Amino acid sequence: MFRFIALRTLQAIPVILAVITVTFFLVRAAPGGPFSTEKAVSPQVQAALEAQYQLDLPMHQQYFNYLADLLKGDMGPSFKYPGRSVDELIFQGLPVTAELGFYALIIAVLIGTLAGVFAALKPNTAQDYVPMSLAMVGICMPSFLLGPLLVLVFSMWAGWLPVSGWGASPGDKILPSITLGTTYAAYIARLSRSGMLEVMSQDYLRTARAKGLPEHIVIFRHALRGGLLPVISFLGPAFAGLLAGSFVVETIFQIPGLGRFYVQAAFNRDYTMILGTTAFLATLIVLFNLLSDIVAALLNPRLRYQFGSK
């Protein structure tokens, strides 16, 4: 298992480095800059600002300086929030974003798993077609469309839930969580269905039925462990994707999370904020992928033997 984890970690390092490198040069190639405003400043002031943030250095030197600071855990100062570092802003918005992602993941796992298992019990029947059709709709429905629709129905027409906000009441968290978790619930439903269908045809389940075990014991005690392996492997990247995908939902529902800073940084050309948030999210995605692979390897010993570990 140690070799498995070490190999996966070594594979992640060049991925994170590539993401940081591409992001660094793309944001610098974009038109405008962090100090470009509607009211032009004097050349002396512009030069002083660029010197303060080391933007007057050659591009390659800025890149290597940023990597050196990043290795020390310093993401640099924000260009648009004077006196505040990128680290501070990220960890200020992260708890709200993580809470939203956690609620959305619970909704996605519960709804997706139940729908997938329900559909797999009677394949190619109405019990299969209905949830899978709804899952396809969920996959195709973008959050920037689903969110306003939910607000229109449950907030504007029914008046049951708040339109926006976060933390004032428990109802504030329902619509954003559903909006964010619906797409992932659809993916989990399809994964759990396919996994259950594959397991249901295995010999050991036929043996369990031949021994006279009730069908619910065959399903819940024997089939689910193997049938939900694809879902477990998906949970790591799903949670990381929920954190990244929450940016749109946070904007729709005016949630004070990490997405607010990221979107504003993109508009303001806040180089360090864009780079820091992107590097942070890339690391989270790699970390959650690694954790999901470890859990999947613990449940499926064949994965460990592929890497020569036991």
Residue 165 token pair: 């906000």
Task: Yes or no: say if 20 and 67 are a contact pair by the CB < 8 Å rule.
Answer: yes
Say whether pLDDT at 110 is over 90. yes
In angstroms, rounded to a whole number, what is the distance separating the alpha carbons of residues 123 and 114? 14
Name which residue leads in pLDDT, 155 or 223: 155
The 10s digit of each residue's pLDDT in 34-66 is 776 655 667 777 777 777 777 778 888 989 998
DSSP string, 118-174: HHHHSTTSHHHHHHHHHHHHHHHS-HHHHHHHHIIIIIIIS--S-SS-SSSSGGGGH
| Residue 108 Cα to chain centre, angstroms | 12
The whole-chain average pLDDT of the chain stands at 82
Q: What is the pLDDT of residue 108?
A: 92
Q: What is the pLDDT of residue 306?
A: 54
In angstroms, rounded to a whole number, what is the distance separating the alpha carbons of residues 144 and 107? 18
Domains of the chain, earliest start first: 92-262 (1.10.3720.10)
Q: What is the pLDDT of residue 54?
A: 78
Task: Yes or no: say if 175 and 147 are a contact pair by the CB < 8 Å rule.
Answer: yes
Distances (CA, A) of 268 to 32, 81, 258: 9, 11, 15
Task: Yes or no: say if 94 and 167 are a contact pair by the CB < 8 Å rule.
Answer: no
Q: What is the pLDDT of residue 303?
A: 57
Residue 142 token pair: 């973008």
Residue with tokens 């749109």: 248
Q: What is the pLDDT of residue 31?
A: 75
Task: Yes or no: say if 53 and 64 are a contact pair by the CB < 8 Å rule.
Answer: no
DSSP string, 245-259: HHHHHHHHHT--SHH
In angstroms, rounded to a whole number, what is the distance separating the alpha carbons of residues 180 and 175? 9
Of the listed ranges 94-98, 100-104, 175-179, 292-296, the one predicted with least confidence = 292-296
Residue with tokens 């029914």: 158
| Residue 293 Cα to chain centre, angstroms | 16
The 10s digit of each residue's pLDDT in 267-307 is 878 888 888 888 888 888 888 877 777 776 676 666 555 54
In angstroms and rounded to an integer, the radius of gyration of the C-alpha atoms of the chain is: 24
The 10s digit of each residue's pLDDT in 172-181 is 889 999 999 9
For the residues 180-198, what does the mean pLDDT come to?
Answer: 89
